[in-house]
Amino acid sequence: MELNQETVERYSRQLILNEVGLEGQTKLKNAKIIVIGAGGLGCPLSLYCCAAGVGTIGIIDNDTVDASNLHRQICHDVNHLGTPKVDSIEKKLNALNPLVKIIKYQTKLNRSNAVEIFSNFDVIVDCSDNAPTRYLASDASVLLRKPLVSASALRFEGQLSVYRPFELGNPCYRCIFPDAPDPSLTGSCSTAGVMGFVCGVMGSVQAQEVVKQIVGLDRSLVGKMLVYSALDCSFRTIKLRSKVEDCVCNSNPKSLQCFKDVLFECSPPLMILKDKERILPDDYSKMIAEKTPHLLIDVRNFQETQFSNLGYEKPGDFLHLPIKKITDSDDISAIVSNINTKMSELKDDCNLIVVMCKRGNNSQKAVQKLKQTDLVKQFELKDVKGGLLGLKDLIPDSNIFDY
């Protein structure tokens, strides 16, 4: 590595560290990392790796910048709305350090392109927000014998671990999580929420572990998991189990086909109710316009109702019952009594109860549970297919769809 004036000035504060020095800085310059995701984790991770002088940074992302990204995805701003995230992050990184080469992959990572892309890089960095991608990144790490630095952030919590499954005793992601979670039971940033600073903390620590892998510092998170809680302002390090004997990573796999496939596409909407038990968005918007009598039950949680209020209902024909209050109740008789009271306040000819949620999944669960009570003998119970989002463009002059 040539120690010219620009190099010395830019990296002087880390060049003087014994753990880095000229040798470590040269390793950073020659290193190539591939970052999966240009979002909440990928942005701070890429910024710090770029600032540290990692020579080549590849970015995989097929998404465009949305206003809801801006509170945590700090490489993007209002000028980038609607543009590909890989283009936005490239501009940010080039402005920070033009000595670093940025390679963009505006594509969706999948089993057919993962090996080809990852083969060109030294370290795989998982900044994704879904389980199938994490399994895919781990499988490629095993197959290509490349270290994987994987992090996640949700609500007020974060997790981070480093996987080197090609080394004796070190587990892969499948060793720790042998079975993929049920997509209907797992949350995401869009459904469960996340604080931006949690992404900042986890992305920064993730960059720390990437640099340590490149420079060769021994004290890393291999075989451990770092757990962060913003609410407690605490970090805990958990020792992970050793490599599982019957895991596929122990069998010297030759291709990704050796690994159990995890569905990459988003899970389809729940189909609990029959079509005749559901109301199409078009039909429900007509009911609103025609003022068809019915009791509307909103089963979203309290936080969701705060920024998306059902403002079109008339007084007396609306009830808020969070989904957990319905599905997790040991004694649903109080809920039934409350609904009966509301129905008695409406017109005599009203016998319809409509259940609403954000997407049309929890509303089905609520209708299913309520149909196990005596309500089904007195009233017609239906939900709105697609929920509030299905009505987004159908109810005019409404500000209830701000998310």
| Active-site residue list | 189, 357
How many residues appear in the chain?
403
Half-sphere exposure of 144 (CA within 13 A, CB side): 21
Q: Which has the closest alpha carbon to 179: 253, 124, 247, 267?
A: 247
Q: Sheet containing 278-279: which strands, arranged edge to edge? A: 278-279, 380-384, 352-356, 295-298, 318-320
Bridge partners (DSSP) listed for residue 123? 33
- List, as one string, the DSSP characters of 21-50: HHHHHHHHHH-EEEEE-SSTTHHHHHHHHH
Helix segments in 125-252, DSSP class H: 131-144, 173-176, 189-192, 196-215
Q: What SS3 state is found at 158? A: strand
Bridge partners (DSSP) listed for residue 236? 227
CA distances from 203 to 62, 144, 347 (A): 20, 24, 56
Q: How far apart are the first and last CA of the chain?
A: 49
